[in-house]
């Protein structure tokens, strides 16, 4: 539902939108590359870039196998917090729009760099969604010789010791409203040190600790996912379109998919808040850049193919028809 303050595109902008919609309607093989900007409307912090601190720790320093070996309790506290925040967030209309596009277009494949679980929770068809960096809600055994993996574990907390601490505003009342969660990303909030006994154990080998099923720094992207994408790219026929949504697409190997799609004939459509966030190879004549919040503009731009979105339980943002092209 468009807000009453919605910005209506200019004639030139409308022409760009219609040009994209015409190309989309004729396209059969389509890629989407998703980044953290897609989930911004769902209110999730990214912990990347300047100021990416969690308590006193650089968040990227916690995202390594070495950090887990040194202090698995601390790493699990960080990831349990991220799981908790992601579960409190809701998929936004852009997640639902892309899920519906996957149902409408058989040749549509989505490559997501996000680990937040919002695309799966928006019922994006599983076989059309490739998670390049894994998921916060997959867990696997940290032992080298154990291959245990569990998908879509939404238990929060995953073990009791990782429960978010709470504070009673008024100790004289038992009302649920008087209890609030403490923000453990704030270093002033006390959290205990956790050892092996407190942490999730592997049910298969009975020896190893479970770890988050995300790709840490220094680790390879999941081979099965990369193989599936390569098989899709090698299919006969051109790639018609790649949509780059909420990501600068400047970091490889994700950025390489823009180049690979171009090499097979694809035109590029970028959806981003920052006008400087264009793919590493730039924009070519015939490409599109739509500046704005993906949660607002994607459902509108995709409407000729996906129709009006109806099934959006607890969507995190309202649709708007604000679209700006560059």
What residues form the annotated binding site?
A: 141, 146, 202, 205
Q: Are 318 and 43 in contact (CB under 8 A)?
A: no
Q: Is 74 helix (H, G, I), strand (E, B) or coil?
A: helix
Q: Is 59 helix (H, G, I), strand (E, B) or coil?
A: helix
Residue list, annotated binding site for Zn(2+): 141, 146, 202, 205
What contacts 199, CB < 8 A, 6 or more positions away?
72, 73, 76, 159, 161, 209, 210
The active-site residue out of 84, 95, 124, 133 is 133
Catalytic (active site) residue 7:
no
Task: Calculate ∠ Cα 16-20-21, nearest 5°.
Answer: 115
Q: Which of 74, 70, 122, 81 is nearest to 98 (CA)?
A: 122
65-99 burial code (b ≥16 CB/10 A, e <16) = eebbeebbbbbbbbbbbbbbbbbebbbbbbbbbbb
Element (H, E) at 136: strand 134-141
List the catalytic residues. 133
């Amino acid at each position: 539902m468009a807000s009453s303050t919605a910005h209506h595109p200019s004639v030139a902008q409308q022409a760009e939108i219609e040009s994209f919609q015409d190309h989309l309607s004729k396209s059969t093989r389509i890629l989407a590359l998703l980044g953290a900007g897609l989930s911004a409307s769902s209110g999730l912090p990214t912990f990347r870039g300047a100021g990416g601190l969690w308590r006193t720790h650089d968040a990227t320093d916690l995202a390594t196998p070495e950090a887990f070996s040194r202090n698995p309790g601390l790493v699990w506290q960080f990831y349990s917090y991220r799981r908790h925040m992601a579960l409190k967030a809701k998929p936004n209309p852009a997640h639902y729009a892309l899920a519906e596009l996957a149902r409408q277009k058989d040749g549509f494949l989505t490559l997501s760099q996000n680990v937040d679980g919002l695309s799966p929770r928006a019922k994006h068809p599983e076989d059309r969604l490739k998670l390049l960096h894994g998921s916060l809600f997959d867990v696997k055994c940290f032992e080298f010789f154990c291959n245990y993996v569990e998908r879509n574990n939404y238990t929060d907390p995953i073990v009791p010791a990782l429960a978010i601490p709470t504070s009673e505003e008024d100790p004289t009342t038992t009302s649920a409203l008087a209890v609030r969660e403490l923000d453990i990303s704030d270093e002033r909030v006390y959290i205990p040190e956790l050892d092996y006994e407190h942490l999730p154990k592997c049910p298969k080998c009975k020896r190893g600790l479970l770890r988050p099923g995300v790709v840490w720094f220094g680790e390879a992207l999941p081979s099965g996912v990369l193989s599936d994408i390569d098989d899709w790219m090698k299919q006969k026929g051109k790639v018609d379109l790649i949509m780059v949504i909420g990501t600068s697409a400047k970091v490889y190997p994700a950025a390489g998919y823009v180049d690979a799609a171009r090499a097979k004939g694809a035109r590029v459509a970028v959806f981003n808040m920052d006008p400087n966030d264009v793919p590493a190879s730039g924009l070519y004549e015939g490409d599109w850049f739509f500046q704005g919040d993906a949660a607002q503009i994607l459902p509108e731009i995709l409407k000729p193919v996906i129709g009006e979105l109806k099934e959006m339980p607890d969507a995190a943002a309202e649709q708007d028809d604000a679209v700006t092209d560059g």
